[in-house]
Each structure stands twice: as structure tokens, then as C-alpha cells.
Amino acid sequence: MVKYSYTHLDEFFVLSQWKDDVKGPFGLHPPPGDWASFKAKIEALNDQCPPGESVKVIFAARHGQAEHNAIMDKYGPGAQVKYPMLDPDLTPLGRSQAYETRLALQREIQRGMPIPTKWFVSPLKRAGETCGIEWGFMFADGYDIDGGGYTGGKGHGVRATVIENIREHLHVHLCDARCPISTLKAQFTSFTYPAEITDEDTLWQPIDVRGRETEEELVARRGEGIREILERSQGDTYISLTAHSGSLRGIYKSLNVIPRKVIVGEMNVLVIRVKEIQD
């Protein structure tokens, strides 16, 4: 099995405050907003890479506010135990946060921002709907934030692949368990579900059965998720990934990116040099 090592090329983007990044070119520097130069540099780096190496640009997003986040904001620590909910949906605020990112993506694409050619998403509903709202315009989606309508299922027509190993940190909370795949397929009709994903959730277990996933387990499982994404995106430079705060922490650690708290609705653009390591 091919393994990978990662180097974060941090000279391209400032990971600053999302309230500022969403109004501009996602922290691109210098000079601000020069997407043509950015794409030329990425192409040059890939041309210079020896066999077995490549440069990937990852649009890494956290889902918008979901129902369990709203409960936590209202009632504080312990609310997820007192008010358990399975695989919660986005709130209206969460949908508006995703829509704000959608508008920013549309604006920056008009300014020359490169477009992903592969989309990957956690199987949890809040991540799937966020991905759909943010990227649905690439797939002739007619989503209307005011009317609340959408086409192409709750994934808004986005042809994303579901990756089990980029789902949220396995806490003891029911909100981190997922619905059966058969249920998700009926709602997210445009998504691809790899055959190896079981219908029922076999990862999440109650605290008296399994306990909380350790940080080491978190990083190892997200590392496996990243490896699967790379295997499924051979030849693709620009990739979209939509997940969760805890899972993004594990993904950042796997990619040798300094972990940071990613707020609901935030998107970071990461430039990663990937090197194949043969066993």
C-alpha cells in the first residue's frame, strides 16, 4: 500500500480571521487576489516535482452551524448529553453561513480562482448539505437562500464522494453518529458512496461500549481518510474537502499543518506537497 508524507507550503495563504478572508481572496498573498500568479506558481511547482511527488490545493471547509451547535451555544457544556440528537441538520443560520461562502467562491472564481475537480465530504448530514450549498452552483443548482429551495437533493447536485474517515471526532455524543447510508442516499442523491462503507454506523459507540476516540486515534483515522482522498484524486490538483472541527484538527495534523480552531462555516485553502512512500 502506498503511503504519503506531507509538507505544508505556507507561503501562499495567511490563515487569518474568517470574517476577513470571506470578504477577500481567502487569505491569498502576495499580492492580494492575484489568482493568475497563484495558478502559474502551482503549475510550475508541479512541473518541477520528481516522479511520486505532486502539489495539491485543498479547499478545506467546516460545516455551517448545525442543530447541536445551536444547542451548545444556548445551554453550554453538557447540552449534547441532555439534548441528544442523531446526525443533526444545519440550522437556518448554518445554511446562510454556507451560502455566504458560496457567494465568496462565485466572486473569486470570476476573479480567476482555480476550481476543484474533485469533491469529498464527511457522511454526516451537516457536512453534506454545507458542501452542496457552497458548491452547488458548479452543477447548475438553483438554490435560493430566501425561498429555501434546492435541486439535486440536499447535496444540491454536487458530485462529491463520501469518505467515512473524515467524519467528526468520535465523541460520546449522539450527534457524531451517522444515519444509515440507505437514508443518506435518499437525501444526498448526487453523492457517491464507496462500496466498503457499511449501511449501519459501525464506528460510533456509546461511552459504556467504546469511549471517546483518543487524539492519536483521531489523527490516524483522518490520515487514512486523506490517503483515500489522494488515491481517489490521482491527477487532480484542486480538491474540495468538507468536514468538521475535530476532524479538520486531525486532518491538519496529518498534513503537517499547524492546527487551528476552524469556526462554523469557515473555509481554508491549503497548499500541500505530497510525496509517495513505498512500504
Across the strands, what pairs with 57?
238, 271
- List the domain range (segments joined by +) for residue 57: 3-277
E strands within 150-266? Answer: 160-162, 238-243
**Is the whole model's pTM more than 0.85, yes or no?**
yes
- Please state, in angstroms and rounded to a whole number, the distance separating the CA atoms of residues 166 and 186: 21
CATH number, domain at 66? 3.40.50.1240
Tell which residue, 138, 155, 67, 66, has the closest CA to residue 102. Answer: 138
Cα 91 off chain centre by? 18
Q: Which of 13-27, 135-149, 155-169, 212-226 has the lowest mean pLDDT?
A: 135-149
What does the pLDDT look like over 243-261, one tens digit per residue? 999 999 999 999 999 988 8
Return the residue matching grid coordinates 462503507: 197
| 148 pLDDT tier (thresholds 50, 70, 90) | low
**pLDDT value for 152:** 60
Task: Report, in this order, helix, strand and coil percent for the chain, each rounded to 5.
Answer: 40, 15, 45
Mean pLDDT taken over the chain: 90
pLDDT at 146 over 70: no
Q: How many domains does the chain have?
A: 1
CB 259 within 8 A of CB 252: yes
C-alpha cell at 202: 459501525
- The three three-digit cell numbers of residue 245, written as one number: 472541527
> Are the beta carbons of 249 and 221 closer than 8 angstroms?
no
Length of the chain: 279
pLDDT tens for residues 26-40? 999 877 679 999 999
Residue 81: pLDDT above 80?
Answer: no
- Is 209's pLDDT higher than 80? no
> Helix or strand or coil: residue 19?
helix
| pLDDT at residue 74 in the model | 82
